[in-house]
Amino acid sequence: MASIDIEKTRNQARELLNSRIESVSTLVQARQRVADLKEQLADAEREDKRAYVRATKDGWSPDELKKLGLEPAAAGRRRRSPSRPAAAGSSTPSDGAVQDVSARND
């Protein structure tokens, strides 16, 4: 039976692990960059909103700002669909079907 060189095997294993560690390190750096940029974007959107409010307090009307291409964009982009049902008498389950909750016989 052939002899196995334990030191050679350890070195090969380390090379494989180092390669895997490098790829996960790259992933962590990318994720951190995304988190940092999201934070910067949130800060910029807050500043945009403050600046828009300052402009309206300084006498600019929303219509005038709109004509200049300065709509309150930061607030509009972040809106998502409402979490509450649209009609008071209906409910929307996770499958998207609408159920009438007003006709229950309790």
> 6-56 pLDDT, tens per residue?
999 999 999 999 999 999 999 999 999 999 999 999 999 999 999 999 999
Q: How confident is the model at residue 106 (pLDDT cuts 50, 70, 90)?
A: very low
Residue 44, C-beta contacts closer than 8 angstroms, at least 6 positions apart? 74
Task: Give the residue with greater pLDDT, 95 vs 62.
Answer: 62
Q: Report, as an integer, the average pLDDT of 58-70.
A: 95
- Report the greatest alpha carbon distance in the chain: 91
- The pLDDT, as a whole number, for residue 2 is 77
- The pLDDT, as a whole number, for residue 93 is 52
Percent of the chain beyond pLDDT 70?
A: 68
The Cα 106–Cα 103 span in angstroms is 9
Check: pTM over 0.85? Answer yes or no.
Answer: no
Domain positions in the chain are 8-76
The Cα 98–Cα 92 span in angstroms is 5
Q: Report, as an integer, the average pLDDT of 53-72.
A: 95
CA distances from 25 to 37, 39, 53, 69 (A): 18, 21, 42, 43
